[in-house]
Amino acid sequence: MNEEKWTDRFCSLYGAGGDIRSYFAPGRVNLIGEHTDYNGGHVFPCALTLGTYGVARKRKDRKLRFYSVNFSNMGVIESSLDDLEYNRRNGWTNYLKGVFWAFGQKGYHIDHGFDILISGNIPNGSGLSSSASVEVLMAVCLRDMYGFDMDMVELALICQFSENVYNRVNCGIMDQFSIAMGKADNAIFLDTSDLSYQYAPIRLDNAELVIACSNKKRGLNDSKYNERRNECDTSLMELKKILEIDSLGELTNEAFEEVKEIITDPVRLKRVRHAVSENQRTLEAFDALNKGDIVRFGQLMNASHISLRDDYEVTGKELDTLVEAAWDQPGVLGSRMTGAGFGGCTVSIVQSDCVESFMKNVKERYYQAIGYHADFYPVHIGDAARRIG
């Protein structure tokens, strides 16, 4: 980001002067462990150098003024600390207003409004957590501007609370946690049941992470995300009749096979099989990465996609086309959908000398099958959300 450029843009919108501060919150990609976070399992995300930039200044009144470079046609959107009710018509500003609301709900008093400009380079609706990035950006701004005494884990939980309750998306903690706690050149091995975590250095040697964006837009509210979560919750209640467990993440593959008959619906049986097996794959992937076995890590990524396709049924033609085309390319160690699914992105590990041919060939095959282009982003693993100026 050209920090001076966006500060100048801020001043042209809102006027110069005052304590103007700049912030950044990354996007995230999950390497493996999909739809496990709300099932008490493990996830393995990392923060990216792509993300959301923000410039903000406290006001003396209670007015809120929002401007997004990405939605510049909407101009400056005005609101107030006295008008924090959710309204679908508020669009992208609901993610910011929800954080103000959540801070108040958690006892952090905010009595002055803000002028805010944001600009992001995360593809909107891609599954790289643009919404969580905006939420954590706003939370970091509030913590810094008000000097609130909270660590980044609490900050992430407040942002999850905002998304769950205010924006009515029943997401797990992974997105907000990885954006708030990211570390350059490391993935986060996170146990979502108790938020214990370890950093795992990503040593790809002569390989790179490549994100492929399907350009099929999706929003979690408009998808079957909440339906999948309800299917797992219902199945967990059935399993609790015979097991003393608090989450599906406590089951091994073997333990699940012994008790699976208690789940009466064949569709929900598949959902649980994915949740359990994906958690076990994530445990194995962490072990493989610590041993430097990137080949095995890639194999587990492939198996993850198959499970998401066949058992969890959240991939769809676009993501399957991208992944299956990737599997056919030389130099690809692993490829899978990432994020909630139903559109969005894939993540692949590709040998460095094959990246250009990989992007060219997969792009052509995708266009032939789908009728519009995918976009490709070789990415780097970055640090957590923070103040930058």
The values of phi and psi at residue 161, to 5°, are -60, -40
Residue 326 CA to residue 135 CA, distance in Å, equals: 32
Q: Name the 3-class secondary structure at 84.
A: coil
Q: Name the 3-class secondary structure at 181.
A: helix
Structure tokens at 348: 């692949």
- Counted residue by residue, the chain has a size of 389
Residue 96 CA to residue 322 CA, distance in Å, equals: 33
The answer to whether 179 and 158 have CB atoms below 8 angstroms apart is no
According to DSSP, the residues that pair with 332 across neighbouring strands are: 350
Cα 282 to Cα 82, 156, 194, 304, 368: the distances in Å are 44, 22, 16, 9, 33
Residue 213 CA to residue 128 CA, distance in Å, equals: 9
The answer to whether 182 and 47 have CB atoms below 8 angstroms apart is yes
Burial 106-122 (b: 16+ CB within 10 A, else e): eebebeebbbbbbbbbb
Among 79, 103, 107, 82, CA closest to 93: 79
Among 71, 186, 175, CA closest to 127: 175
Residues with catalytic roles: 175
